[in-house]
Amino acid sequence: MTLSLAALLFLLPLLGLIVLAIKLDSRGPALFRQHRTGRHGKIFEIYKFRSMTVLEDGADVVQARVGDVRITRVGRVLRILSLDELPQLFNVLSGEMSLVGPRPHAVTHDEYYSERISHYRLRQQVKPGITGWAQINGARGATPRLSDMQARIDLDVAYVERKNFWLDLEILARTPLVVLSRRNAV
């Protein structure tokens, strides 16, 4: 939590510029909130910078995909560089998330995939993270096929089984390289 507070303070000027860019680019709030499933199935509200023209939350949430017309101009840049995730530092401060852990999915997606992937809910044994083992191993972005989500969940479960301080440091160190590579970014 101390690290996330320090990051927020350091990033404050950047956060302000992002808010301004979002407001100048399109109508709507700068922040997007959506219900996600956290540790032990507890529902929480995640914060992100708004990168799309829609604010989906509830029973019908459509994943963003490459070339998605709902993504704003500023949103495209934010998503490629994962800057839309920065407000999740507030979720870390509140104890709902960690810097490292399986990425939380929309509640409706959790319900859908938990019925189709046998070990899906094992990922919820730890706090969800801003970045994770799956993301640094290429399972980032859209999951148009069940096999895509299966690969992500397999990596999430592998993380849960091996979770330790050194693995978290490795994930934190590798995350900027993955982000800059733009691999699988939507």
Angle (CA) 85 111 139, round 5°: 45
What pLDDT, in 10s, does the model give residues 38-65?
999 999 999 999 998 887 676 777 787 7
What pLDDT, in 10s, does the model give residues 117-164?
999 999 999 999 999 999 999 998 788 899 999 999 999 999 999 999
pLDDT band at 20 (very low <50, low <70, confident <90, very high): very high
pLDDT band at 116 (very low <50, low <70, confident <90, very high): very high
CB 105 within 8 A of CB 33: no
Instruction: Work out the angle between the directed axes of helices 73-80 and 2-25 (0-180°, nearest 10).
Output: 150
Which pLDDT does position 99 carry in this prediction?
96
Torsion of CA 171, 82, 104, 50, to 10 degrees: 160
